[in-house]
Amino acid sequence: AMEVGGGDKEVVKEYFNNTGFQRWRKIYGDTDDVNTVQKDIRLGHSKTVENVMKMLIDEGTLKGVSVCDAGCGTGSLSIPLAKEGANVYASDISAAMVDEAQKNAREELFNGKEESSSSLVMPKFEVKDLESLQGKYDTVICLDVLIHYPQNKADAMISHLASLAENRLILSFAPLTFYYAALKRVGELFPGPSKATRAYLHAEADVERALQKVGWKIRKRGLVTTQFYFAKIVEAVPV
Ligand code: SAM
């Protein structure tokens, strides 16, 4: 087994700059060259983004609110955040992902026009692993990244993200329940060529404990499930 933070952060980085980048860019994109499973994951992931946007907007406008999108991928969340007027700081360990996110943001936010002629603010994109993120943001969001962290590394990751957030921390992760754990075991019996990195599922209670340890409590919970995609969403606030 590989571990994030030691050797396997490098493995994750390498994966998301190469085969993982090709695979996930397609899944997170809108082209037709996806298979049934990829199409299902695309749908599930888009529901996670929608769900999170709704959580945020229900609590008030995002205009001028600073949001850190940690592990931003191709910009699936950064772009809708910027459309709502948030000041977005987006970063990812993969330079290929950051390039793609930047390209997508330019297209979707400014549509080829001058940035200066728009009231929208381009997100600040940076190649950075989330462990080296610094500063303070009103809201920190980290979607579908915990899957790369075993629980013993997840606690430190959650604690670091909480230290950057003033008001809200939103996380999504693949939930560890008996059923999904069994599914994953079955999957491991038939490793395909695309399974270049290990996937770690997390028990909601473990995530909650990690948040409580640093003085945060869960205020809202959400669950997204499709056939092949499962995500638990939690919004935490300081106690
Ligand atoms: N959050 C994005 C979304 O929901 O559209 C992308 C999710 S994708 C499954 C996981 C992303 O996490 C990849 O882009 C990967 O490069 C990034 N990642 C993995 N480990 C990371 C780390 N330690 N620091 C920053 N980004 C990381």
| Residue 139 tokens, joined | 């809201």
- Residue nearest to ligand 1 atom 6, measured at CA: 73
* ipTM over 0.90 threshold: yes
Q: Provide the 10 A C-beta neighbour count for residue 68.
A: 26
Predicted confidence at residue 1, as pLDDT, reads 40
- Residue nearest to ligand 1 atom 24, measured at CA: 129
Q: Provide the 10 A C-beta neighbour count for residue 178.
A: 7
Q: How many A from CA of 117 to the centre of ligand 1?
A: 31
| Residue 144 tokens, joined | 């579908």
**Which ligand 1 atom is the nearest neighbour of the CA of 71?**
26
> Is 105 exposed, middle or buried, given 0-12, 13-18 or 19+ CB atoms closer than 10 A?
buried
User: For the chain, what is the mean pLDDT?
Assistant: 92
Q: Is 207 helix (H, G, I), strand (E, B) or coil?
A: helix
Tally of domains within the chain: 1
Residue 38, in any domain of the structure: yes
Cβ-Cβ contacts under 8 Å for 41 (sequence gap 6 or more): 27, 226, 228, 229
Residue 164, in any domain of the structure: yes
- Contact assessment for residue 104 and residue 134, using Cβ atoms and an 8 Å cutoff: no
- Residue nearest to ligand 1 atom 13, measured at CA: 73
Pocket test for ligand 1, best of 10, 145, 201 (most atoms within 8 A of CB): 145
User: Could you tell me the pLDDT band of residue 192, with boundaries at 50, 70 and 90?
Assistant: low
Predicted confidence at residue 185, as pLDDT, reads 72
**Which ligand 1 atom is the nearest neighbour of the CA of 69?**
1
Residue 168, in any domain of the structure: yes
Predicted confidence at residue 2, as pLDDT, reads 42
- Residue nearest to ligand 1 atom 9, measured at CA: 144
- What range defines the domain where residue 138 resides? 7-238
Residue 1, in any domain of the structure: no
Distance CA 173, CA 235 (A): 12
Residue 201, in any domain of the structure: yes
Segment 127-150, tens digit of pLDDT: 999 999 999 999 999 999 999 999
Segment 27-85, tens digit of pLDDT: 999 999 999 999 999 999 999 999 999 999 999 999 999 999 999 999 999 999 999 99
- Residue nearest to ligand 1 atom 14, measured at CA: 73
- According to DSSP, the residues that pair with 165 across neighbouring strands are 137
Angle, to 10 degrees, between the axis of helix 19-28 and the axis of helix 95-105?
30
Secondary structure letter of residue 106 according to DSSP: I
| Residue 86 tokens, joined | 């948030």
Distance CA 28, CA 198 (A): 20
Secondary structure element (H or E) that encloses residue 137, with its range: strand 137-143
Distance CA 221, CA 230 (A): 14
Residue 188, in any domain of the structure: yes
CATH number where 141 lies: 3.40.50.150
Residue 2, in any domain of the structure: no
Residue 6 has pLDDT above 80, yes or no: no
Residue ranges lining ligand 1, Cβ < 6 Å? 9, 12, 16, 24, 28, 71-73, 76-77, 92-94, 97, 129-130, 143-145, 148
